[in-house]
Amino acid sequence: MTPKEVVKFAKENKARVVDLRFMDFIGTWQHFSVPISQLSEEIFEEGLGFDGSSIRGWQGIQESDMLVIPDAQTAIMDPFTEVPTLTLICNVVDPITREPYSRDPRNIARKAEAYLKSTGEGDVAYFGPEPEFFILDDIRYSQEADHGFYFVDSIEGTWNSGRDECPNLGHKPRHKEGYFPVPPSDSCQDIRTEMSLLMESVGIEVECHHHEVATAGQGEIDMRFDSLVRMADKLMWYKYIVKNVAKKWGKTATFMPKPIFGDNGSGMHTHQSIWKDGKPVFAGDRYAGLSETALYYIGGILKHARALNAFCNPSTNSYRRLVPGFEAPINLAYSQRNRSAAVRIPMYSPSPKSKRVEVRFPDPSCNGYLAFAAMLMAGLDGIENKIDPGEPLDKDIYALTPEELAQVPSACGSLEEAIEELKRDHEFLLKGDVFTQDVIDTWIDYKTEREIKEIRLRPVPYEFFLYYDI
């Protein structure tokens, strides 16, 4: 839509409020709302002001004034608000220089798309993430000086098979058996269907939905791929819809990678490809029907994977998932069909148009704008420097001998380790001024001070089990 068409669209839908949304540095959608009287074609050029000093990782109090510039192409009516509300996703700019703000994740993603075009390797990068999530019935947690605990519950949780539920009707998926029996074992069918239909109503093309491997309501809704920035926008709508539909049903949804001990965590396998002049750059006659360019792209992903962990697996909880034994792709190898490899080449269709690579280590706690941009930059570095990904690993990685496994590099084992890798390996992100040094330094400082150090200070419940009586 053009700005003029957005104004018309708002009138046709009787919108009374305009909700302006933007992404904070860490990965949470932020917003503020204005009356419909404020909507004019001019705000798409002039923008609207807000205080950026309270946004995580952004401006200091001495330079707090910022502007949001709505993107007319993102206009959608919010499906949840009681009052008809037009939503617009915005870019953030400096009010003095009128330059895009370097720490705005959407701006970083836009620069990554522009950098791809500047290389001549392609016109568009397509991304297709598969975010997994849990739909729970209860969540409680607290950490104070005198106590620390968390409690999660689900009517579906296998631990409730013996609970007196007046009556208990059973059909609770056992650990690692949630993929994917029909209802009543799958108790979330109707909830996911409502989520899927609402996603389609806001322009997200849904391919399928299903229960996932874990007990306790783990699910997945698959979206059709789209260009980098548009898919990052859709990922935010995806999370927004999942959480709000869950709340409507009296439940709560989380994209936390590992909320349940002893069962599979939630990943976000991310399919990606590059196209040029309407043709798939990744299709060819090499391994698994890939082109040489695609293999170099994989080489870049694998070379920089441990630094990518800092953006693709950005929480301390991410590394509760990235451990052996739970289908987590910690081994940095590539393969066709083999889902235990960090990079997989899907073989569902022989069509060149479907040729893509699937990076399996990201999880849905990431900021999609930053994660997608970082993976694209790693892949482009592989293409530019002709990085050989080595031989594919088509064996069952978990069946390898210790000697064989020792030859396969691993993803990081902690957020602290990932941050150290990012300190060492980030030059590829700075090309084209996509990620600035300030962005890298701010990300490292925030994660170190607000998360790594804070987690390090606090005892966890299992430590009392291990050590209280020593």
Q: Which residues are catalytic?
A: 51, 130, 132, 212, 220, 269, 339, 358, 360
Cα 200 to Cα 291: distance, rounded to the nearest angstrom: 33
Which residues, including other chains, have CB under 8 Å from residue 258's CB and lie 6 or more apart? 265, 266, 317, 318, 320, 321
- 237: closest CA among 39, 412, 78, 447? 78
Cα 296 to Cα 286: distance, rounded to the nearest angstrom: 12
Please report which helix (H) or strand (E) contains residue 151, including its range: strand 148-153
β-strands 206-211, 218-223: how paired?
antiparallel
Residue type, 384: E
Residue whose structure tokens are 């074609």: 41
Answer for the pair 385, 303: CB distance below 8 angstroms, yes or no. no
Cα 184 to Cα 132: distance, rounded to the nearest angstrom: 20
Q: What is the 3-state secondary structure (H, E, C) of 175-229?
A: CCCCCCCCCCCCCCHHHHHHHHHHHHHCCCCEEEEEECCCCCCEEEEEECCEEHH
